[in-house]
Structure formats: structure tokens, C-alpha cells
Amino acid sequence: MPRVVAVVGPTAAGKSGVAVTLAERLGGEVVNADSMQLYRGMDIGTAKLTLSERRGVPHHLLDVWHVRETASVAAYQAMAREVIERLDVAVVVGGSGLYVRGALDAFEFPGTDPAVRERLEQALDDVGPEALHERLAAVDPDAAATILPTNGRRIVRALEVAEVTGLRVSARPGMETYTSVYDTTFLGIAPPLDVLDERIDARVDRMWEEGLVHEVRVLARNGLREGLTARRALGYQQVLLFLDGEIGEDDAREETKRATRRFARRQLSWFRRDPRITWYESPAHLLDDGPWSPRA
């Protein structure tokens, strides 16, 4: 069985840098489990490490999809396991909880139907996520209780599963149990919320300074608006609204901060349910403890 270390937690917690250091110390390679870092060209807004920041450590499953492609956790699961199973040590890192579980756990994904998905995505554009959330509450109330009424992508997927399979997405095999398919050590970084909020605000400001608006302009010319998943990514959605004249640039920046802070809390809520994770308040605490510490 491959040796796997998973580094999880909310956005801006410092996971990516920790993963590089752990890979260096353990002789491993990094496997991305951030759903938005799978997209080519979405670099600044996803805080994707630069080549120099990766310090020569091989990184897998970055820049896999075109921004017009709809994300698929099932497709990611197959790709991630193919990579993990050929590595001696894999450091899986990301804040996309379903992607982490898809890569590492005995977790099944119901089938999909492109025609049904297209129809539901069109309905999402026509009537908005809140109306679809009401429809989901009628067919799968447990799923509706765990999905925000504004999360159109997850609402569409839950409705698709119900229509295609007749099953509730909340009853997905493996959802309620935490069974790893690999010998995995789970590590989490969870700074105090006030510290995390400061890190998020600083990161968003840094993204603007590094050229997020220009990055979105370039991606928009290459199909970002047609991407059902990518166009809704944090930061990208807000900048598109600014470019379309619907909000001001300062409003786009502040809304990105607010939305990211909300998202970070949802990430923490998701990962806190997993009893396998050993939690640390900071990257330094994680790296200075355990068998990966230089003192060990």
C-alpha cells in the first residue's frame, strides 16, 4: 500500500507550503486536491504555487482541465488514484473536502447524464440556485440541509443524482463512514478564526496586487464564462461581475473577502467531522511535531 499523507483545512491556512516541506522530508511528491487548481490559467485566484515555490518537488494534477470543462469528482478520483498508486510517498493537499475523500476513501460516486446535467445547469441560469434548492428540499431534504441555497453547482449535482439514479445524494455509499483505501495519515491546519480572517483578507489583497483582474480578463477571452464550474470560483465570479459592469472593483474585492471567509468556515465544518484528522493551529506547529519533524 502506498504511504499517503493528507494535508487539509480551510483556504489560506498554509497547506500548500506545508505539503512541499513534508514531501521534501519524506521523499514524496505532492498530489493536488484543490478543485479549482485543476484548471489551467487559474493561478493567482487559486493561490497556486509558482514553480520556484514548489522547490523542485513534483506536483501532480495541477492545470489538468480547460476552464470550459465542468468539474467531475469521479473523474478526479480516477486520476488521483492512478497517481497515488505509483508513488512511494504521496502528499495529498487541498481544501476541497469531497475531492480529498474521493481520492483517499472507499467512496462511490453515482453516475452522471450529460443531458440531465445540461438541463439542470440551464435551469440554474434561468431561475437561480434558491429556486433549485427548494426543488432539492422536496426530493432530498437531508442533502438540502447540508447544501447552501447559493451553491448552485452542488444543488445541480444532487438533483442530477436523484433524477438519474433514483437515489438521494445524502445516501451516497461511503458518505457516513471514514474508511481509507490507503495507509493514510491525516493532518489538518486550523488557525483561530480571527487569524484565518486576517490571512484571507491579506491573500485577497495580494491577489489583486499580483494581477487577478488581468488573469480573469485573459481567461474570459478563452471561455471562462462558458465554464459552468470555473466561472463560479471565488474571486473569478466577483471579477467577472466587475468586468461586466455590474459592481465596482472595490466591491468585487470586498465581496471576494466576505465570500472566502464564509467558505473557509464551511471547509472547517466539513473537515471537523472526520475523526482521523490530527489538528494543528499553524503550519509551524504541524511541521515541528511528529515523525516528520527535524528533531525526530
Q: Any idea which of 16-20, 126-130, 236-240, 274-278 has the lowest mean pLDDT?
A: 126-130
Residue 172 has a pLDDT of: 58
Residue 31 has a pLDDT of: 98
Residue 169 has a pLDDT of: 67
Question: Mean pLDDT across the stretch 211-229?
Answer: 95
Question: Mean pLDDT across the stretch 1-25?
Answer: 93
How many other C-beta atoms are found inside a 10 Å radius of the C-beta of residue 221?
Answer: 9
Q: Any idea which of 52-56, 133-137, 183-187 has the lowest mean pLDDT?
A: 133-137
In sequence order, the 6+-apart residues with CB closer than 8 A to the CB of 290 are 296
Name the fold adopted by 114-171.
Answer: Histone, subunit A (1.10.20)
Which residue pairs from 161-166 have beta carbons closer than 8 angstroms and sit at least 24 positions apart in sequence? Answer: 161/110, 162/136, 163/113, 163/116, 163/120, 164/110, 164/111, 164/112, 164/113, 164/116, 165/110, 165/111
Q: Any idea which of 94-103, 123-132, 166-175 has the lowest mean pLDDT?
A: 166-175
State what percent of residues in the chain have pLDDT above 70. Answer: 95
How many other C-beta atoms are found inside a 10 Å radius of the C-beta of residue 142?
Answer: 13
Question: Mean pLDDT across the stretch 272-284?
Answer: 96
Q: Where are the domains of the chain?
A: 3-106+180-191+275-287, 114-171, 195-264
Residue keyed to cell 523542485: 56
Segment 16-65, tens digit of pLDDT: 999 999 999 999 999 999 999 999 999 999 999 999 999 999 999 999 99
Helical packing angle, 193-210 and 249-272, nearest 10°: 140
**Domain 195-264 in this protein, CATH class:** mainly alpha
In 3-state terms the chain splits into helix, strand, coil percentages (rounded to 5) of 50, 10, 35
- The answer to whether the 114-171 and 195-264 domains have the same CATH topology is no
Is the pLDDT at 93 greater than 90? The verdict is yes
Q: What are phi and psi of 242, to 5 degrees?
A: -65, -45
d(CA 215, CA 143): 35
Q: Which CATH architecture best describes the domain 3-106+180-191+275-287? A: 3-Layer(aba) Sandwich (3.40)
List of E strands, 94-196: 183-189
Question: Mean pLDDT across the stretch 161-188?
Answer: 79
